[in-house]
Amino acid sequence: MFSLAKRGLVSQRGLVSKQLLRRMGVSTRLQQKANKSVNTFTSNMSNTSPTSESSRLTRVPPVMQSNGRPQIAVDKELPYPYARRDENRKYFVIFAVGITVACAVIFNYEKSSSPIVGSVLYYLRRSTVGQDALGGDIEFASSWPWIWGTLNTVQGHIDIKFKVKGSEQSGWLILKANRESKRHPFIVDKFLLEVDSKDAKVQYDLMTDPEYEFDL
């Protein structure tokens, strides 16, 4: 019985070894085929790539300096910065004038839309002195009024002058007022209406209106 079992184990080992050898043979055949395909691919690439690349690309030799090192940048003539000096000056002057005019227009619009100017014009329309001097329909002299002077309510300094007109005459409205701080009211120093007559300029003190009292 022992001999029979020993023979069975030997026969099984023989079968396993045969199967392994068969598998190893198959794997070696596959490896040989893969190696052949890789060799053919590399040979084809080596035969085709150098000729095609050499035909498409040409290497440019680097520019060498006197010390034997390759030059980083190629020598070129730099543009002359003062070649268009006069033209650049004209552009700068035009730009500066445009910026100045734009700032002046913006600041004038802020002054014309200020509540101080609105209240002054409202009082002039109701004032009997203003109506006697200018007539009815008192308003700005132009559709875009220009307010001359300083109008700074934060610092408490008002010194403005602008042109007004009525149905009969036109003139200049002058207002000058100051205050110490935000907690104090404005003290009106001058509130005049200056009308140009044929003979001379006539000034009317709007603070002396008997019907209305002006206050900021």
Pairing of strands 170-178, 187-196: antiparallel
Which of 57-61, 66-70, 111-115, 201-205 is least confident? 57-61
Give the DSSP H or E segment for 192.
strand 187-196
Measured from the Cβ of residue 79, the count of other Cβ atoms closer than 10 Å reads 7
Measured from the Cβ of residue 191, the count of other Cβ atoms closer than 10 Å reads 22
Distance CA 184, CA 176 (A): 16
Q: Which of 136, 130, 111 is nearest to 191 (CA)?
A: 130
In this structure, what DSSP letter does residue 80 have? P
In this structure, what DSSP letter does residue 99 have? H
In this structure, what DSSP letter does residue 77 have? P
Q: How far is CA 174 from the centre of its chain?
A: 40
Residues in the chain: 216
Give percent above pLDDT 90 in the chain: 26
Phi, psi of 139 (to 5 degrees): -160, -175
Q: Summarize pLDDT for 125-160 with one digit per residue, the tens.
A: 888 888 888 888 899 988 889 999 999 988 889 999
**Amino acid (1-letter code) at residue 65:** Q
Whole-number Cα distances in Å, 182 to 46, 94, 152, 156, 210: 90, 41, 12, 7, 29
Confidence at 206, pLDDT banded by 50, 70, 90: confident
Q: Summarize pLDDT for 55-106 with one digit per residue, the tens.
A: 455 666 666 767 777 766 656 777 787 788 888 899 999 999 999 999 999 9
Average pLDDT value over all residues in the chain:
77
Give me the residue label for tokens 């005049």. 192
Which of 27-31, 49-53, 69-73, 150-154 is least confident? 49-53
pLDDT at 65: 67
Residue 29 corresponds to which tokens in the numbers above? 């055949």
Whole-number Cα distances in Å, 122 to 8, 59, 128, 185, 204: 127, 85, 12, 19, 17
3-state secondary structure of 173: strand
